[in-house]
Amino acid sequence: MLKIKIIISMLLTVCIASAFIYHQPPHKLTYLQLVMPKGWPKPPTNIFASNPLTEEGFQLGRKLFYDAGLSKDSNFSCAGCHQQFAAFATYDHDFSHGFNNSFTTRNAPGLFNLAWQKELHWDGGINHIEVQPLSPLTAVNEMAASIPEILRKLKADTAYIRLFKNAFADGIINSQRLLKALAQFTGSIQSYNSKYDKVKRGEAVLTISEAAGYQTFLRSCNSCHKEPLFTDNSFRNNGLSLNVKLMDKGRMGITGNPGDSLKFKVPSLRNVSLTFPYMHDGRFVSMGKVIDHYRNGIDTTEPVLDKLLKKRILISNQEKVDLIAFLLALKDDVMTHDARFKQPD
């Protein structure tokens, strides 16, 4: 009889425990949405279609983005080349530092408004935000890590075990989740609060010089740097001579088409005052130098030069001054100081 009572008691315990597990509330996620500023075009694709944006995924991606432990020698994080105060570009450097005293071979672009970009990198060689981190994570002159080693580190870290569990109910740590979390963070970085934006919303007014510069911009720059993103995301040859040290022919390296020689992605002019030096190789140290290139530095003999630049761009000295004043109004201090994008404590 005693054995029967013990068995019944054990069965009841199992049933109660099973019932408790069965009735536990489902894993809860806090879903987020990108801001769609008024007047902006619809993103060409939904970068979060198979990777729903959540607060939990965002916070995991944020920690990963700032973690130098993901690099081979634990010295380089994603944020090392993409600094918030520099609009998530590399401040005042033509090339970024990498593993073993090496350098990158292209100027780091600012990371913002990525939801509106179909191709990433200067040559468009990456076509999805979730794939993009693989390049810097594994490049020997950048973070120089291996994915298996990164996963080993993450699985041994109690903080990451908790964060992966928060973001993904089963808590499995794998390369796909690593990339998805990074995409949730970087894909959430948006720039739409510059003085220009506030003027468009009726919250501010351009100065006389800024307004004059805006007119020069509309006449001379807007064909490629289209509002409101200030890029058309196309690839163009803008008359730069070949950098013989790099031998970087841009888009041609991806397509193999000689017609794409020295074509590079048109960068956004948002936050342009923070992302110097300029061009794919950082050859110009100031906005003034860039404008001078378009005024008189274009190699008009280049056979695949963009047709819009065949006669260069006519900008007077005063127009140059005013244009720079307008470009300064594209700086988004809200984004560069947003606590959500800062390194976590």
Q: Judge whether 251 and 313 are in contact, CB under 8 Å.
A: no
| pLDDT score, position 26 | 57
On whether the pTM is more than 0.85, the answer is yes
Q: Which pLDDT does position 7 carry in this prediction?
A: 43
pLDDT at 301: 87
Q: What is the pLDDT of residue 344?
A: 96
Residue 119 predicted with pLDDT over 80: yes
Reply yes or no on whether the pLDDT at 193 is more than 50: yes
* Confidence (pLDDT) at 27: 73
Dump pLDDT digits (tens) for 75-103: 999 999 999 999 999 999 999 999 999 99
Give the residue-averaged pLDDT of 41-60: 97
* Distance of alpha carbon 191 from alpha carbon 194, whole angstroms: 8
Q: Residue range 292-310: average pLDDT?
A: 94
- The dihedral through the CA atoms of 181, 182, 185, 191 has a sign that is negative
Cis peptide before 44 (omega within 30 of 0): no
List pLDDT tens digits, range 147-175: 999 999 999 999 999 999 999 989 999 99
Average pLDDT over residues 225-250: 97
pLDDT of residue 121: 97
pLDDT > 80? residue 248: yes
